[in-house]
Amino acid sequence: MFQIDCPWCGPRDQQEFSYAGEGGIQRPQDPSATTDAEWADYLFMRRNPRGMHHEQWRHVHGCGQFFQVTRHTVTYRIESIRRMGESAAAGGESS
Amino acid sequence: MSQTHRLSQGGGIDRARELTFTFNGRRYQGHPGDTLASALLANGVSVIGRSFKYHRPRGIVGAGPEEPNAIFQVGTGATTRPDQRATQVELFDGLVASTSARLGFDPLSVNNMFARMLPAGFYYKTFKWPATYWPRYEEKIRAVAGIGESPIEPDADRYDHMNAHCDVLVVGGGPAGLAAAQRAASAGARVILVDENPAFGGSLLSGRDAPDNHVDGRSNRDWIANTVAELAAMPDVRLLTRTTAFGNYDHNFIGLMEDRGDYLGQPAAHGVRHRLWRVRARQVVLATGALERPLVFGNNDRPGVMTASAVSIYINRYGVTPGYRAVVFTNNDSAYGTALDLHAAGIDVAAVVDVRRRPSGALAAAVRAAKIPIHDGCTLIKARGGRRVRSVEIGRLSGEQLTGDRWKISCDLVASSGGWSPVVHLHCHIGSKPVWDDQAACFLPGADNPGQTSAGSVTGHFNLRDCLAQGFERGDAAAAAAGFEPTAGTAPSAPAAGETMPIRPFWLAPSGAPISRGPKQFVDFQNDTSAADIALAVREGYESVEHVKRYTALGFGTDQGKLGNINGMAILAATLGKSIAETGTTTFRPAYTPISFGALAGRNAGHLFDPERKTAMHEWHAAHGALFENVGQWKRPWYYPKDGESMQESLDRECQTTRTAAGVLDASTLGKIEVHGADADRFLDLIYTGARRNMKTGTCRYGLMLHEDGMIFDDGVTAKLGDNHYFLTTTTGGAAGVMNWLEAWHQTEWPDMDVFFTSITDQWATIAVNGPKSREVLQALCNDIDFDRDAFAFMTFREGTVAGVAARVFRISFTGELAFEINVDANHGRYVWEAVMAAGAPYGITVYGTETMHILRAEKGFIVAGQDTDGSMTPMDMGMQWAVGKKKTDFIGMRSLARPDIVASGRKQFVGLLPTDGTVVLPEGAQLVDDPQAPLPMPMVGHVSSSYHSVTLGHSFALALVKDGQSRMGETVYSPQPDGSVIAATIAGPVFYDREGARQNV
Ligand SMILES: [Zn+2]
């Protein structure tokens, strides 16, 4: 049972959140221009690393916001939490 | 006096009061402060059950959570509890307990005579084939192997959950835990201290009141009382006894189960039986102690063979001696303390048998001084006796082998010690591996988990002075790590431990015969796993400790191998010729000791299990005889039977009246979402398959939502309320998912879009009036909307008042009839509903439920997302190309509709089915085949998704998904049924009624 530090509300119990898939997956700008292989890669292929994983979570029973989490899949240590659009390095807004 | 084994003095029991309890139908007496186990021992009860596989008589072995044999059924009726460890069941007046296996002569003990035919894996090998016989075998095995019964009546007790936070959680209230809690609390930290026992003190409670047990110059009990009183007086300290930390989870989340009722027999009035604590701690100190391992020798399961520490506990804590002539068998110093405890209690100690040569050390010296004979460099070969140990055979050792020199000593008690195993369970629950320590001959906790540390004998420090010092230091450290300044002070002091002699690891006593020929040497008592079983597993090729565990059932019992696992792993390592460090341990998983289902459920049971959602008109439906069905959390009227009608008769009446006059459905449960914002058009264009951008205010459009893989997941109607303002409906069950979907795309992919979503499902009541007379009904209630067929066209809405209540009226239809859906403030829902019923009375209006709704919509071939679709159907599969915007360049799922798998032939397609026999209704979910005579496995070509009898059509019909079905019109498919019959049906289009759609355009 994790404790997740919602970037909007502060630390809360995992049961207030729902996992929302791998983070950082960009929808192709023009889907019709993608090949079948490119589209299938976007659609189906997900990382399953032993180590750092970039994820999205939603504070579904709280503020309702989606945000980014970097979590170690072996130790379950949460390395960083950022609002959507915030870059990992700067921690500030990125375009 | 029936308490034949009660000592005349000593122990923490209240001798002034007597309690009566029943065990296996016989009445016994005990005292407050007893456990069920100590009271049985006091009464001289030695055989308390039969073993799992061989049905050998078994006695009490331990005194705590490690007990493998005394697992009882406690209580009767609704509150009976299986799987209770007698060593942890506190005695109360009127307690009723039993073992499920019969005592005395047991016909199944013949298993024992054929023991060599029942080796490890016996059940796997014997009962494996034929597979269809397994349920029969299993039933027989379970019947004889039962370890308890679940209550069959509803649980009348309450259970609850408590969430708690603290700076420092200390698990274990022995000397180290008390010292740690005291330090952390004095630094100002919020502290929770938990212990599974009724009282704090841990190992101090099981020692004699002797100077070597004194702390800070006080007797052990004085020091405990003083320390607990000090802690209790601090405002931010919570002390929980009878509370087991059963699981250590991530991010310092610890699960505790507190017993608040079992120990009393019944919970207090308005109280709970068990409380589950969900604790989030900044820092955790694990002071979980250590459990003693027995030594493994022949017939070591005879009643009267116990761990040495258990013997000491029964004498010192309960004033009970488990026997009157004892043999102590050991490979380390601590059992000498038990010899001294027995001696001090006036019990004859016939011998201390020590596998070590020339035992030195302070305790051995004290035993010698007490004139107790020490047989050094010797082992017990086997115990003798049937229902109770009568004597032991002792042999001299040369290395690991017997010299041949053997002799016998009579006794009725064997106290054995193979060393101590730190309780590393909690430390290991979150993935840490324990580390084998050759010096201490035990597994120790590995590197500390983040925010956690260990103190006391769990770290391999087995003397009191070290444990106190370590607890003191780790308590300070935990407080500091939580941000508190430790106060000045010194650790509680205890006398220095005397000279000690190292343990000699000794895992299996030689018997002088091959392992499979000698007397049984048990490793896991609860599963009857012997050393020979482990050797057999190795011979058969098992090497991994995890595989051997599963093959031999080692550690599989309710005791989870607390007593036997380390011995078993060491024997495995020796058999494999590996070190214990190389072989390793099995995985430690929660729960440390079993926890109740009641505690896990807490208050989330019965009607509180899940919220029930009711519409504004719910009470009206109930008053009018509705039967309800659950749709998600909603209670929806299913149908409304009238005096004596069968279900089909009700449905026929509801359908007929709606098609010929008027019918009303409570559609309030449909999900409703308002969408605002300058980019609402653009956003909804991406969400729906159809175009939204060119909608005019006041109009409605049906729409499909696809997942990005092109599969339909929800549908509904979009209404354009104004510029940048939409209203959408979703399926009843899909509302929350659609809301999440919209938020997900907006927040994570298109955050720059100016769009907002508001759930308004509960705020609006929806009354759907269907049927040729629906216009007249509305006109009777409304004078500010023009209901003329052209003025108020199909797929538009109007705002006005209905029965004087502000309303939005949609001209949309889910029945194919002329229809209007009235939306009003939910607070006025029931008033408007009743007005509609009154206005419709002259036309014979009927109310109808979800079942009639389904028949009417299915007659028209309208899909229900989630019933006719299952997450693998595209709009084309459903024949709904018309709902996909031809000119659109993008929407979620669009690109996937061009994927090769999606455009290939052979996909299941949505069709209608007409059973050849129109009186037969195909079961929903039934599989379809082309040739019912085809050999198995029969190729399946589709399945039935919706199926009903239609009074309007005069026969049954169904909707189905059939491979390439849209090009197979008129062909016959077959549905083989479980009873062997076959239903034939002809493939047809999915619209059965009013194909041209004339009825809704009147
Ligand atoms: Zn939040």
Closest CA–CA distance from residue B253 to any residue of chain A (Å): 6
Yes or no, beta carbons of A3 and B744 under 8 Å apart: no
Whether chain B has a CB inside 8 Å of the CB on A59: the answer is no
Nearest Cα of chain B lies from the Cα of A74 at a distance, in angstroms, of 8
CA–CA dist B258, B599 (Å, integer)? 9
Assess contact for B805 and B824: CB atoms under 8 A.
yes
Nearest partner of B521 among B145, B146, B56, B63, judged by Cα: B56
The pLDDT tens digits of the residues spanning A80-92 come to 999 999 976 544 3
Residue B909 pLDDT exceeds 60: yes
C-beta separation of B840 from B777 below 8 A: yes
Which string of DSSP letters, residue by residue, matches B503-514?
Answer: -----S---SS-
What phi and psi values does residue B481 have, to the nearest 5 degrees? -65, -25
Mutate to test the interface with A, among B246, B248, B251, B673 (most CBs of A within 10 A): B251
Tell me how far the alpha carbon of residue B681 lies from the centroid of ligand 1, in angstroms.
Answer: 28
The burial class, CB within 10 Å (0-12 / 13-18 / 19+), for B925 is exposed
Q: Lowest mean pLDDT: which of B329-343, B495-509, B548-562, B781-795?
A: B548-562
Judged by DSSP in three states, B15 sits in coil
Q: How far is CA A74 from CA A15, B448, B535, in A?
A: 20, 15, 34
A52: left (phi over 0), alpha (psi -120 to 50) or beta: beta
Taking alpha carbons only, the member of B429, B338, B413 closest to residue B44 is B413
Average pLDDT over residues B155-161: 94
Alpha helix (H) ranges present in B83-197?
110-113, 122-126, 134-145, 175-186
Q: What percent of chain B has pLDDT over 70?
A: 95
Mean pLDDT for B403-411 is 96
Over 70: is that where the pLDDT of B123 sits? Answer: no
pTM (two decimals): 0.91
CA B431 to chain CA mean position, Å = 19
Structure tokens at B961: 């998904």
Question: What are the angstrom distances between the C-alpha of B939 and each of B275, B538, B544, B704, B728?
Answer: 53, 45, 42, 31, 41
Q: How far is the CA of A11 from the centre of ligand 1 (A)?
A: 9
Q: For chain B, positions 148-187, list CB contacts with chain A under 8 A.
A: 163
- C-alpha of B547 from chain center: 24
Q: Which pLDDT does position B103 carry in this prediction?
A: 41
Q: Is the CB of A73 inside 8 Å of chain B's CB atoms?
A: no
Q: Across residues B386-413, what is the average pLDDT?
A: 96
Give the pLDDT band of residue B122 (cuts 50, 70, 90).
low
Element spanning B872, H or E: none
Instruction: Give me the pLDDT at residue A78, please.
Output: 97
pLDDT for B660? 98
Q: What pLDDT score was predicted for residue B45?
A: 96
**Tokens representing residue B726 in the block:** 């939409």
pLDDT tens by residue, B266-275: 999 999 999 9
More confident site: B127 or B287: B287
Q: Does B747 touch chain A (CB under 8 A)?
A: yes
Q: How many CB pairs under 8 A join A and B?
A: 61
* Predicted confidence (pLDDT) per residue in B875-902, tens digit: 999 999 999 999 999 999 999 999 999 9
pLDDT of B172 higher than 60: yes
Distance CA B736, CA B669 (A): 12
Give kind and range of the element (H or E) at residue B150: none
Model confidence at B1, in pLDDT bands (50, 70, 90)? low
pLDDT exceeds 60 at position B105: no
Count up the domains in chain A and report the number.
1
- Quick check: B102 pLDDT over 50? no
Residue A78: give the domain boundaries: 3-93
Listed residue (B227, B384, B205) closest to B303, CA to CA: B384
Q: Are strands B274-286 and B378-384 parallel, antiparallel or unpaired?
A: unpaired
Q: Determine the average pLDDT of the residues in B235-264.
A: 97
Q: pLDDT confidence of B55, banded at 50, 70, 90?
A: confident
A14 CA to centre of ligand 1 in angstroms: 11
Instruction: Indicate if the pLDDT at residue B403 is higher than 60.
Output: yes
pLDDT at B130: 55
- Please report the pLDDT score of residue B61 as a whole number: 98
Reported ipTM exceeds the 0.90 cut: yes
CB-based contact A13 B899, cutoff 8 Å: no
Residue A32: list chain B partners with CB under 8 A: 889-890, 894-895
DSSP state of B405: E
The distance of B705 to chain A (nearest Cα, Å) reads: 17
Q: Tell me: the pLDDT tens digits for B330-361?
A: 999 999 999 999 999 999 999 999 999 999 99
**B748 contacts chain A (CB < 8 A):** yes
Chain B hits for A62, CB-CB cut-off 8 Å, are none
Structure confidence at residue B464 (pLDDT): 95
A56 touches chain B (CB under 8 A): yes
In the sheet where B26-30 sits, what is the strand order?
B26-30, B19-23, B96-98, B71-74, B81-85
- pLDDT for position A21: 96
DSSP B388: S
Chain B contact present for A30, CB below 8 A:
yes
Among candidate residues B350, B374, B355, B351, the one with its CA nearest the CA of residue B364: B374
With CA atoms as reference, the chain A residue closest to B748 would be A84
Per residue in B652-699, pLDDT tens? 999 999 999 999 999 999 999 999 999 999 999 999 999 988 899 999
The DSSP annotation for B913-939 comes to: EEESSTTPPPPTT-EEES-TTSPSSPP
Cα–Cα distance measured from residue B96 to residue B73, given in angstroms and rounded to the nearest whole number: 8
| CA–CA distance, B429 with B445 (Å, rounded to integer) | 11
pLDDT at B431: 84
pLDDT of B802 over the 50 cut: yes
Find chain A residues with C-beta within 8 A of B744's C-beta. Answer: 20, 58, 66
Least confident interval from A33-47, B206-220, B233-247, B940-954: B206-220
- Inter-chain contact B890–A43, Cβ cutoff 8 Å? no
> Residue A14 sits in a domain of what CATH number?
3.30.2270.10
Asked if the model's pLDDT at residue B41 lies above 60, the reply is: yes
CA-to-CA distance for B650 and B647, rounded, in angstroms? 5
Task: State the average pLDDT for chain B.
Answer: 94
**pLDDT of B996 strictly over 80:** yes
Residues 6+ apart with CB under 8 A from A10: none
Each residue's pLDDT tens digit, A18-72: 999 999 999 999 999 999 999 999 999 999 999 999 999 999 999 999 999 999 9
Q: Is the pLDDT of residue B131 over 80?
A: no
